[in-house]
Amino acid sequence: MRLLVFGATGQVARELRARAPEARFLARQDVDLTDPAACAAAIATSDAEAVINAAAYTAVDKAESEEALALAINGAAPGAMAEACAARGLPFVHISTDYVFDGSGDAPWTPTDPTGPLGAYGRTKLAGEERIRAVGGVFAILRTSWVFSAHGGNFVKTMLRLGAERDKLTIVADQIGGPTEAGDIAEACLTIAAALAADPGKSGTYHFAGAPDVSWADFAREIFAQSGLSCAAEDIPSSSYPTPAARPGNSRMDCSATTAAFGIPRPDWRKGLARVLTQLNEGSS
């Protein structure tokens, strides 16, 4: 399958490149994500048989002061991509986020639950989802959470850096979710793209997150344990670590529909963490 991927240097895009090196990857210098027409043209003039959007504005806190920019990238661009894909009958896989929910309660969110983003980032990602669904083509919106990898900036790499410098760190313990390794997300995107090509009736909104659900503090403890760091993690509430953008307290995701439709089980993030640590160690040796 000839793939066109929006994104080249992000966590998921880099993992996609490792698994589908023959795909065409569009970096920022190749297409302006703030220009919906340019995004649509890239699809219209390609020989792609499926499109994956692994590009996004992901600076959660900065989005509070740059919502217009975030909306262009996370809202308008995916809508234009979906329209261009629908015009050619191409499957379109788009990555979204748990931030479209308000984080209330403690039950895992299902794809059909009411949304209610707490901040600009979540609002712009939800706008993208709504535009894709409105087009009505062949698509899968894949909401995921707490992405980590050996690339770029993420919680795992931050904990490794700070854990090597300090004896103790205070970590938020009242936000619960499923850490998800970018390689697992890339695998899921490829599987879903192929499945949509074979059965367009599987179009819809899906969830994909690592298991088991944990707090950020417990995630940190596992990072320290697997990496051999003696740093301790002390539980604190979110109120003790204020940020410009509010974070959802409950990011648990019900992924059963994804398993039923595509045969993709929730991945064990602890195994993904072990792979990432191995990659980081090999990269530093």
Is residue 72 within 8 A of residue 131, CB to CB? The reply is: no
CA distances from 22 to 2, 81, 90, 141 (A): 8, 21, 18, 23
Q: Does the annotation count 206 as an active-site position?
A: no
The contacts of residue 226 (CB under 8 Å, 6+ apart) are 270, 273, 274, 277
The contacts of residue 244 (CB under 8 Å, 6+ apart) are 61, 62, 64, 65
CA distances from 28 to 73, 112, 247 (A): 11, 33, 28
Catalytic residue among 57, 121, 206, 241: 121
CA distances from 108 to 104, 177, 203, 238, 263 (A): 10, 9, 22, 20, 19
Is residue 247 within 8 A of residue 238, CB to CB? The reply is: yes
SS3 96: strand
Both tokens of 98, joined, read 């748990």
Which residues form the catalytic set?
121
